[in-house]
Structure formats: C-alpha cells, structure tokens
Structure 1
C-alpha cells in the first residue's frame, strides 16, 4: 500500500513539474538564465521532499512550486519591460576578444582561463585565435564568435551563385502516422500526400518516414519488415 501511494505521489509531482516547466517556457539547460536556473534547482529540491516522505502532504510540494513558477513569470515580464532590471538579474554580455585583440581584464573578471576560451572556440569550429574578430560571452554563459572576414567560409551569395530555394523540409509521415503540424509547415495537404503514395503504390501504414518541402520535393523510406519507431 505504501509503495502504491509513493508511486501515485511521484506521478502527480512529475506532472506538476512538467506543467511548471512548460509555463516557464522552452529552453535547454545550457540556455537558462540565472533566475530560470535557480527556479529549476529549487523546484527539483522541493519536489523531492514529498516524494521521499509519504507523511508529508502533497500540498506542501504543490504550493511552493506554484509560487516559484509565478515568481519566474513575474521576473520574466519585468525583464522584458525594464532593461535595467534584466541587467541586474542576468548581467550583460561581455566582450573577451575585440577586433582580434584578447581583453585579458575581462577574462580575469569572468575567471575564465585560456583553456576555457580555447575549448569554447573549438566548440564553434574555431581552432585559432588569429581567426577571431570578436568573441562575446552571452548572459547564459555561451560564447558567440565573429570570424575575421578573410577567415569566413565563403557563401553562395559571396561567390555569386544562385541556389534554388526549396523551403522548409519536414517529416510528414513517421512510422505510418500523418503529421498535421508538419503538413502545415511545408504547406501540403493530406490529399497531396495520399496522391503521391497512390502513384507509388505504397500504403500509408507501410511508410517508415516521408519527408516533403514547400517546393514539392519528397522522399519516401518504406518500412522494413518488423521495423517500427
């Protein structure tokens, strides 16, 4: 009986945490601002208490989580409306390389070693300081890099080559299931897709993946026998 109660409490708290995170918005952990990271850590700690102690009422976990989510929403609105408040909570971006010159004073203020800088540059596919014109540490801790003009990879526009615009490509069928959201993204109808499948003599339920783009290009990968996502 105690095991069942503990399981139910855990599932309820799991649902509450999912709702709370959805209310705060979609971000990856590495993209969380200071206030969002603090709220996320507090919610995990608070939720653990009623999970472990079945004698603790669930309300003691729900109320603090709801308060934290409301606080985060209010703080987010204030940061949106008041730039100075955002700078106080999140700080400001810091330039560590300006016009190709390393700003050592800013790196010391950030307590950022040359090894840390080199690691973040390599994660941006930059392997030499000589290639960097500007490097900025954003408020979420990520490094933004602008290469020197002569070190940039040439684009089709720079070379004067006109490339066809195929638009966005989406997975319109996944494991035999049609995606209405994906069809809207590529501006295609179920009738268009079924017409292609009929012409190819393929049943929808036999399609592993079908992709399509706004231009009308498509690719169909049939299921192998016994294959399912």
Structure 2
C-alpha cells in the first residue's frame, strides 16, 4: 500500500479517536483549559501527529498513548469534582490583584503580571480607570473578575425602585424557513397565530431566515433579503398609547360635563387608568426588554 494512503487512513482513524476522546472528556477540553488539561491536550495532539506521519513506533502504540492520556485527563476531572484540595492543585487558586481599591503589587509579581498586563485585562472588562475598581481577582483560568466601586456601578431598575417585567427565554420558531412546532408550543403559540403574524408583515415562512417569539409573545423576524426592512413589533407600544388616550379622554369628559356625578365617575376611572398605566409602563414601553 502506498505511503500516502497509509497517512490518509491513519489521519481518518486518529481523527475519529481524538473526537471520541474529546466527547468523553467533555466540553471543558475545548473551552478554557486548566494547566493539566493544557499539557494533556498538547501531548495527545503531538502523539497523534507522530503516529499519523508514521515517524515513530506503530499505530497501535500511538493509540495506547492517546488513550492513556485521555483516561488520565478524564480521571483528573473526576477527582477534581470530588476534592477541593486536588482541584486547587490541578487548576490553581485565584489571586487577588486589587483589594479595597489598592493594587497588590506582590501578588502581581507572584503571577508574573506587569501593570500593563493588569491594565489590559481591565480594559477587556471596559474599565479604563484603575481608581474605579474596588476588587479584582485573577481566576485560575486567566480571566479577571472585577467589582467596581459602588459609585461607579451602573444603575439598575432595582436601584431606582422600578418594577420590571420578568424575562423568559426567547423561542426560535423559524430557522432557515423551517417552522419549529415545539418552540411554538413552548411560547404558547400555534401555527395559525404564526401565519397571521407573518401575513401582517407580508412575509412568507420560506423567506424567513430566523423568527423568535419573546417573553411578551411578540414576533421578531429576520428575512433572507437584507435589503427589505421588516417592521418591528408594535403591539405593546400601541396598547400603551390606547390606554393613555382612554385616560386623557376620561379627564376631558370630566371637564366638559355639567353633572357632578358624571364628573366624579370620569375622574375616578381616569385615576384607575393612570395607576394601571404606571404599573404597565415597564412592560409596555419597550424600554425594559
């Protein structure tokens, strides 16, 4: 058999073996690696490359080597789940870089980080002024976790005592022109509803690249032709506008009528609508999506 054919066969075989080992070890191997996983991954790749090219030993020996490192990596992951001490040895421990707004230079030196390195990590977190940071921690996998000082943290609806709508996972009901009935059911919708909404937009299902139903039950559509603009959902803003108009009409009726009884009725109902508007505005204004 020609050498080039041997290389093709070995490449396909080891591609399958490496894929299976990676699936067994888990997604952690293709995300951020610990020190051990990094060394293990390099070694497995090196062994596979050597055997594929047939430079050393036999293909069988290469398979044994790859399986050994794969099993070792899997065992390390299992032990790490069971023992905190073992996990600290394998993954390492977090290191505090900034505490109480002060940079800990000794910890920077210990991890062989310069001030430029720290500044670069902070910029990745959209922090450009070190003085804004209350606490910063270097995670075992190289990420920097940052806590801003209280006065520099962004405001949240909770800080302003605002009532916000509960968010749920958007459901993708159409992808590549194909309708997903399971997603429609999860969103509490039917195909009939979907067809009506698409007709309102003047869009056919087969022309839709992606369509999602949000937690408010509104449909957002993206079509294949980027030159065509599809209208944004308007159900909530229209409903809010209708409530505002009804409330304003009631106040106007109260001013125009000569009957004190009718005035009182209009004013009470106008106040009820005003209270309702205040409660529903976070849900209907579209500002808290």
TM-score, normalised via structure 2 length: 0.68
Matched, 1:95 2:96: yes
8 Å Cα contact 1:172-1:179 kept in structure 2: yes
Aligned 1:182-197 pairs, distance under 5 A: 183=183, 187-188=186-187, 192=190, 194-197=191-194
CA RMSD in angstroms, aligned pairs only: 2.7
**Cα offset, 1:160, TM superposition:** 1.7
8 Å Cα contact 1:96-1:137 kept in structure 2: yes
> How many angstroms apart in 2 are the aligned matches of 1:213 and 1:28?
33
> How many angstroms apart in 1 are the aligned matches of 2:180 and 2:29?
25
Aligned 1:38-117 pairs, distance under 5 A: 38-53=39-54, 57-117=58-118
8 Å Cα contact 1:197-1:204 kept in structure 2: no
> How many angstroms apart in 1 are the aligned matches of 2:69 and 2:179?
39
Which has the greater radius of gyration? 2
**Cα offset, 1:73, TM superposition:** 1.5
8 Å Cα contact 2:50-2:56 kept in structure 1: no
Task: Name whichever structure is richer in helix by fraction.
Answer: 2
Looking at both structures, which has the greater relative contact order when contacts are Cα pairs under 8 Å and sequence separation is at least 6? Answer: 1
Cα deviation 1:80-127 (Å, max 9, x = unaligned) = 111111112222111111110111111111111000000000000110
Aligned length: 221
8 Å Cα contact 2:137-2:146 kept in structure 1: yes
> How many angstroms apart in 1 are the aligned matches of 2:225 and 2:82?
54
Q: Residues 204 and 12 of structure 1: is their aligned pair in 2 closer, same or farther, counting only changes over 3 Å?
A: farther
| Unaligned 5+ runs, structure 1 | none
> How many angstroms apart in 2 are the aligned matches of 1:175 and 1:50?
42
